[in-house]
A and B are shown apart, each in its own frame.
Chain A
């Protein structure tokens, strides 16, 4: 009896404990929301990861082929053309200059922005960047250079709004203002240095970029420009009349060009075109087109750009 009694109270105690534990467990689970993970995105699949790890530990063979394009022809060719705006040229608002106004405003007015520059006569679009993504060979005229490129600023505006250069060229960052600036370059070639009034500081980018990168001034945050360092000079920025020319590109192979504009609506500023002439060039959703040129051919492309390509 005693024993039973003891067992009974024991089991009661257990039951009580059990209930207590359960209540605690329940409230913990409720609080933890069943460990619901609110984080976004997929997670690695363990089995797949193991397979990939095995493939990597088997070693990587240096084929050297990862970046190269197989040469398929001889000789050289030229591509040139023009980007023409379809519609009336947009009016550019002045920069929002709210610091150092004595320097940054001329006659009490800040200079106009350069976001989308359309020539009033020819309707040509300036500052469209066209560059060759990959190439099997490089003509000597397109080899990297070692000179310097002047990058000036005045009235708190970068005087070159968009510029390409080859890795190896030095950017001479000049400050023609009586106030100090700093030049803050985004992307793989990070740079952020003070540029004293009326002085020049040199900067040598080391790495190629896949798309133009922003250059800013932290002291005057409205200031903006873009630059594109590449391993060869198969690039062009359209002039005020919208024209560009890239000469001495390899003939006889598929050339894929990237087209970019500061406010292009495609990924990273890619210029997206859906016009018949763009379709002919197999223009894609990344703002790239493909041509194959014969030796000594001069291909001319005329591209009409609707305002929608700039989000208009």
Chain B
């Protein structure tokens, strides 16, 4: 009898990868390999999700990850993160002004008449979720004219390049506290370990690359009653943010490119303050790479809930920084859930040893009692 327990791992892995690859190309002769450009554009919200959860703004690599992982969001974001591990950090980005954003959409549910006006932009919010059967068999000629037609029919108008921030207006009216001082060095979660209690910037950075569903679930628990943020969206904006970096020689800030981001600010009711200062509304902030409105809103609500928890002590899971921050990372949580598929022969052998010993003791006890 040969060595039984575990054998042939290398061959098994090779076969498994070949089977995966075969399924990717299962369409056979009718198949057309997905182009990265098609994924990046036609599945732009999926790409958005991956750049955000992957914590690396590289839509083309994100598209590649989506293709390679056959559409699994957790795996694709994971591949992007692993790619990031091979890159050194060359410099720290200075604070970027989101008021400079070239917006494609900005709304407020607090005021009808916000400075600069509401711009509904591209959203499914008011689209009827009826199946568009015509999309199932789209003529390429028609498809290729849609974007050009839209651009041609939209009047150039005199839209401003940028829009003022709603929260700035609220601050000017004294309804919101002034923005915290810039002097605070932001916490880099990719280079420093989290040791609790952690600063708000570490919490925000963790949430910015968190798994969307995990953030939503925790934020939703707060909305439903395990918490009481009761948010109003002061502003939600989506658009292209110019990124300014210091010039390597002169140190002067220059525009290095732009990133698509979603930003959300929620305003909540004021807190009880024991000091004599004027009561003001409180703010929750959310921002992430890509066009991910659900994520940005969830993040803003959780930010508000966590600030409350840090001040008054957590009364609900969504107000506890440790509970939230350590359970929202997709790479961590999916990895650990999947590791249970690995062999646990040795530990199970130990478990059996303990169970048999306690069973034997229980039996002999019962025997003695009879």
The answer to whether A and B assemble together is: no
Binding site for A on B (CB under 8 A): none
